[in-house]
Structure 1
Amino acid sequence: MVIIYTSPGCASCRKAKQWLRDNKISFVEKNIFSNVLKEGEIKYLMSRCENGTEDIISTRSKAFQNLHRGVDDFTLNELVTLIQKNPSILKRPIMLTEKTMVIGYDDDEITAVTPSNLRQPISMPVNTEDGLRLSLKAY
């Protein structure tokens, strides 16, 4: 199951949802504008970021630019409150599974939300030192 955080009018969100439908991956959509994100939910999303909070905060958004501060100028609690009051500062879509988090829509990265039981193996021919040709499968 995938949780996808979206906003209305977001082209990347529409593409991501269509990709999930096309690949028969069930998802729950959470519109960040019609549902205020809870403190724990925001902190959980931030904890899943590999490169810090800038992974999910759009520092180029007008709402963030108008603050005239950098991400590092905020405490964690201030960021949580800021996101709750200005959800437009979040990058979208945010797709979340138990093991992965994908931010934005990228044709290659979105495949990370595909459950392993649905992934198709890719056969790769490999030549060994003694001239044998093997076929390895990768998922």
Structure 2
Amino acid sequence: MLFVEYPKCSTCRKAKQWLKDNGIDFTDRDITVQNPTGQELRQWQARSGLPLRKFFNTSGQLYKSLHLKEKLSAMSEEEQIALLASDGMMVKRPIVVAGGTVLVGFRPAEWEQALK
């Protein structure tokens, strides 16, 4: 299992602790050191069943400063993936990749159902 996080993010720290508390082994990846590639993002989005917009960190400063709330719907999927792949802070986290399961964001009930 791959756990993609921003170590300074309180939600990521809670999610990481949840994994540890539940005895789930994972490989940790700092999103600021190793940003997801376009190929990874395409695969994760397909496996997650989520719309691509759910992969954007809508509460992040970068998202807000680029006014993406207004611009995202006019962008092609390829443009959105390129934007996500350009900066780890653009990507919503944490992300868990476990086989065919991809979880974006931390919702304990959803994680409980998917990972246990």
TM-score (norm 1): 0.71
Distance apart, 1:63 and its partner CA: 1.0
Q: Deviations over 1:108-136 (max 9, x none)?
A: 11213424xxxxxxxxxxxxxxxxxxxxx
Q: Deviations over 1:49-79 (max 9, x none)?
A: 4341122112332211222243222222222
User: Aligned residue for 1:102?
Assistant: 103
Q: Structure 1 runs of 4+ off > 6 angstroms?
A: none
Higher strand share: 1
Percent of matched pairs sharing the same residue: 25
Alpha-carbon distance between aligned partners in 1 of 2:13 and 2:79, rounded to the nearest angstrom: 30
TM-score (norm 2): 0.83
Alpha-carbon distance between aligned partners in 2 of 1:97 and 1:51, rounded to the nearest angstrom: 16
Q: Which runs of 5+ in 1 are unaligned?
A: 116-139
Q: Which runs of 5+ in 2 are unaligned?
A: none
Alpha-carbon distance between aligned partners in 2 of 1:105 and 1:79, rounded to the nearest angstrom: 22
Alpha-carbon distance between aligned partners in 1 of 2:35 and 2:91, rounded to the nearest angstrom: 13
- What SS class does the counterpart of residue 108 from structure 1 fall into? helix
Q: Deviations over 1:16-48 (max 9, x none)?
A: 111111211111112111013222111112223
Alpha-carbon distance between aligned partners in 1 of 2:74 and 2:59, rounded to the nearest angstrom: 16
Contact residue 3 and residue 27 of structure 1 kept, 8 A: yes
- What SS class does the counterpart of residue 65 from structure 1 fall into? helix
User: Aligned residue for 1:56?
Assistant: 55
Higher relative CO (Cα under 8 Å, sequence separation at least 6) belongs to 2
- What SS class does the counterpart of residue 29 from structure 1 fall into? strand
User: Aligned residue for 2:4?
Assistant: 5
